Chains A and B, each alone.
Chain A
Amino acid sequence: MARYVIRRVLLMIPTLFFIALIIFTLAHLAPGSPFDKNENRPLPEATVARLNSLYGIDKPIHEQFLLYLGNLARFDLGSSLVKDRTVADIIGSEWPVSAQLGIQATLLALAISLPLGVISALKQNTIIDYGSLLFATIGRTIPNFVIGIFAIYIFGVTIRQIPALSGLALPFVGWGNGCGPLPSCDVKRMLLPTVILGLGEMALLTRITRASMLEAIRQDYVRTARSKGLREQSVIVAHVIKNAMIPVATIIGPATAGLITGAFIIETLFNIPGMGREFILSVNRRDYPLIMGVYMLSAGLIVVANLTVDLVYGMLDPRIKLAK
């Protein structure tokens, strides 16, 4: 087991290297430069040349890449070319916000989807099952920017115009004043973004849980357990649910990694100072060091999440052998 883990961790290095190489090359291949930001007042050529030399982006790409790797090895992520801040500073202030939002959304998704999936499998083809199907379909098919805008209008604007309900109007701008960890936060402000961000994963997990429960229920070992005279409750908990969790675990890992690195749409809609928007903005603005910073962080997290999922498999199902 330990050897397996070590081998997997070492394998992460070439994986991340190639990801870095690909992102770096693609980013530099896109036309335009970080100094092309104001179409109505382009900078004079001489100024751009000077800026390029100042930031070293006039060098050949391979040289820049080696330089970048060298700096990375010394944990220096560089400075943003567009903003007056270092990449480490930007990620350091934005990622915790995204991570908190993502973790809240994931926990909420798990808290609702797992029981809902289990119950609808056990009560297959009843009204509960149909209800959860309806919910899962809504959560999965409507993009969250649609749900987000509707939620903002309903809870921010519409509800305010109905006198009896106007007290229930929710503020939705910003992450709240001086918001630290959850208890000190303005929970009202977090409600909408957390629920809407969690909705997609919630719906997906409900479906997966239900499907894999239904499959596990029909397995021979479940029949065996029942015929041994085990109580129905322990059959479900010890045999069905445990085995049904394998496909669920596969999804949770990467999905969580995705959620905690930021959600562009939710962060934009709710004015949340997270890292999600950097994924889009850094590319649009050709801010090479920032592109590398956010994408490499996200790649690293996904690699770690996949490893974790593989390790969890072994715990859930001893038949899956990891170490050879």
Chain B
Amino acid sequence: MTPRDRSRWSLLAVFVALALVISACQGQPGGGPTTTAATGDQADPNGELVTNMGSEPDTVDPQKESFVSEIGVSMKVFEALMTFDVKTGKPIPSAAKDQPKVSADGKQYTYTLRDGLKYSDGSPVTAADFKYGWERLCDPATAGEYAFTGYIVVGCEAWNSMDPKKDDKAKQDAAKAKFLDSIKVDGQNITFTLTDQAPYFNAIAGLWVGVPAKKDAVTKGGDKWTEPATFIGNGPFVLSEWKHNEKMVFTRNDNFRTPTKIKKWTQVMINEGAVAFAAYRNNELDVYGVASEDLRTINGDADLQKQVVDGPGSCTFYVGFNNRKAPFTDKNVRVAMAKSFDRASYVKDIIGGIGKPATSFIPPGMPGYDAEDTFQKFDAAAAKTALGAASADAQTALKTLKITYSSSARNKTRLEWFQQQWKANLGVDIALDPVDSTTFTQLVKKPETLPAMFLLGWCADYLDQQDWLTTVFSSKASSGRVGYNSKAFDDLVFAADKEPDPKKRDDQYIQAGRLLSQDAAAAFIYYNATKILQKSWVKNYYITALGFELAGFTDVFVTKKQ
């Protein structure tokens, strides 16, 4: 043995010893940084909250952004007309004084602003400022990813669909004028004219998409207007520092009508889950979003267990079938695949219990959740019967079937589980087809390249059935999706989208949802959930179904840290 070989062995020994030390320390009950003595529930007026936002936002321009962490920034710095009740999820007035006045034909929504609204620089917020926010949303030059939420307002879609470089300037101006004409400002009032009746418009008025970006700040800042100097909002916090790729610091906006209870909120950008977990344990983070990989450590530590808080999720994950391609043109195959995996075991073994088995599309806690829609529940015998009824062509196509997914260690484990379930319960061999994440997005976007089978999820943008059923599975869905094309389903959802009678509307959506499950356009797997660790000094940190922060977070506070 050469000296080098020996040193390698001793090195291994060192590592084993270290691992033992670490696990021993983790197992120690009682001794830890987290046993904070009670200091009462007095808010520290100078309190600081530190949370993790994961990665650096691509943009925090409210009219451009699309990711939860980005939206979280806008929702702190800006205030929309409406917001959502933390408990019920229903739209409640925010910058608006009251619920909107709706015209008799249901196509005009008038909101009246509260008196004395101010931007963080002290200047007044007017109805025209809100109109400017909507103008930016629909402007094709903004190139915002959520512009489609504005398409319900007259003229937005036509203007937004133009190519600012190639299309005729006069035509663009005409389209813009037509759109601007559909939003009327009168003193404190702002009136939107819609293309159709749309009871869900009030929920859209609560989104970040139409918040009042400040025109002179946007003009002054140009491409960099979202930097702290010109990112001036009307919300409870001010973005006072943005160290790119490191952190964002928000401080109390003294011009907001309800002062926040914390003085400072720092959001760091730690990409790596294991590091964020360690940072939480090192008191460098006050809140940490738990991943299923952390559960063993948490369950072995009495202190950490006490810090767990459970909250709702807003997403449903599903196995997508390409309904236009064999074997999934055959409904029997789709039903067989959907009924042949044990969702309860998936939730327990694969995602560590952070979630619930799903047999329908809309998750619990959302309007339109249907607990009785259990058609897709695990039933190996029924699945085999359905498969037996499938056509000969479909049977042949099944032999070369593969499932495409965005490559990651986590997804691989998930897909291997499915592979094994389908093999055991249905006798079908499915190959795995990992591709990198950007390629995956590219593939699932277009009907021509849509893989035969794939893993996807959908998360709510706002609390309304329309955002689920119509947006994802109708024939007018904004993207190819699964290629489900059912006239019966379309008729139901399009009618419900416009239905002013809430009871009738809910019923239509319920019927549509059941049809979707029975047609097995996709196989629903699970509804996600949120599990966080929260230090004992953090109070009133609401976890809401929409993921981004609601109610302005004026309530959250920290007591004196020890």
Enumerate chain A interface residues (CB-CB to B < 8 A). 30-33, 36-51, 53-54, 79, 82-86, 89-90, 93-94, 130, 133-134, 137-138, 141-142, 149-150, 152-154, 156-158, 160-163, 166, 169, 171-175, 268-274, 277, 284-286
Contact = CB atoms under 8 A, between A and B. Distances in A.
A32 B18 contact: no
Nearest to A287: B58
A135 to B, nearest CB: 9
B66 A172 contact: no
Contacts of A150: 15, 18
B439 A32 contact: yes
Contacts of A33: 438, 442
B536 to A, nearest CB: 16
B7 A134 contact: yes
A39 B406 contact: yes
A271 B275 contact: yes
Nearest to A274: B245
Contacts of B163: 49-50, 53-54
B153 interface: no
Contacts of B33: 160-161, 166
Contacts of A171: 282, 284
Contacts of B438: 30-33, 36-37, 284-286
Given A39-B456, A271-B269, A31 B246 contact: no
Nearest to B21: A158
24 contacts: A30-B439, A32-B436, A32-B441, A36-B439, A36-B442, A39-B437, A39-B444, A40-B459, A41-B479, A42-B445, A44-B148, A45-B446, A47-B143, A53-B163, A53-B165, A84-B224, A89-B224, A130-B3, A149-B274, A161-B33, A173-B268, A173-B270, A175-B246, A277-B245
A44 B224 CA distance: 27
Contact of B58 (A82, A153, A158, A286): A82
Nearest to B165: A53
Contacts, number: 189
B10 A134 contact: yes
A90 B441 CA distance: 25
B28 A142 contact: no
Contacts of A43: 145, 445, 479
A288 to B, nearest CB: 12
Nearest to A161: B25
A39 B243 CA distance: 28
A96 B283 CA distance: 28
B278 interface: yes
A311 to B, nearest CB: 35
Interface of B: 3-4, 7-8, 10-11, 15, 18, 21-22, 25-26, 28, 31-33, 56, 58-59, 61, 64, 66-67, 140, 143, 145, 147-148, 161, 163-166, 223-224, 226, 243-247, 268-272, 274-275, 278-279, 281-282, 284-285, 406, 436-442, 444-446, 456-459, 478-480
Contacts of B439: 30-32, 36
A38 B67 contact: yes
B4 A133 contact: yes
Contacts of A166: 33
A156 B161 CA distance: 52
B22 A153 contact: yes
Nearest to A174: B246
A156 B442 contact: no
Given A44-B148, A53-B163, A137 B7 contact: yes
A156 B478 contact: no
Nearest to B249: A177
B265 to A, nearest CB: 15
Contacts of B67: 38
B244 A273 contact: yes
Nearest to A33: B442
Given A84-B59, A172-B284, A156 B278 contact: yes
B143 A51 contact: yes
A76 B318 CA distance: 45
Contacts of A44: 148, 478-479
A174 B247 contact: yes
A33 B243 CA distance: 27
Nearest to A80: B58
A84 B226 contact: yes
A172 B441 contact: no
Nearest to A31: B439
A173 B279 contact: yes
Given A94-B245, A174-B247, A31 B442 contact: yes
A166 B64 CA distance: 45
Contacts of A41: 66, 145, 479
A45 B446 CA distance: 8
Contact of A268 (B59, B271, B480): B271
Contact of A269 (B8, B26, B226, B275): B275
A147 to B, nearest CB: 10
Q: Chain B CB within 10 Å — which of A85, A93, A142 has the most?
A: A85
B251 to A, nearest CB: 14
Q: Chain A CB within 10 Å — which of B28, B281, B438, B459 has the most?
A: B438
The 4 closest A-B pairs by CB, nearest first: A273-B245, A42-B445, A32-B438, A36-B441
Contacts of B275: 149, 152, 172-173, 268-271
A285 B441 CA distance: 11
Nearest to B438: A32
B456 A172 contact: no
Given A47-B147, A84-B58, A158-B21, 12 more contacts: A32-B438, A44-B148, A44-B479, A50-B143, A54-B164, A137-B7, A161-B25, A166-B33, A172-B278, A174-B246, A271-B270, A273-B243
Contacts of B11: 134, 137-138, 141-142
Nearest to B447: A45
Contact of A174 (B64, B148, B268): B268
Contacts of A268: 271-272, 275
A269 B406 CA distance: 23
B161 A38 contact: no
A223 to B, nearest CB: 28
Contacts of A86: 223
Given A45-B446, A137-B4, A157-B282, A83 B58 contact: yes
B165 A54 contact: yes
Contacts of A133: 3-4, 7
Nearest to A163: B31
A45 B445 contact: yes
A154 B24 CA distance: 12
Contact of B272 (A53, A269, A273): A269
Contacts of B31: 161, 163
Contact of A84 (B15, B64, B140, B479): B64
Contacts of A42: 441, 444-445, 479-480
A134 B18 CA distance: 17
B442 A93 contact: no
Contacts of B282: 156-157, 160, 169, 171-172
Q: Chain B CB within 10 Å — which of A41, A49, A84, A160 has the most?
A: A41
A245 B179 CA distance: 72
A163 B456 CA distance: 47
A152 B278 CA distance: 7
Contacts of B274: 149
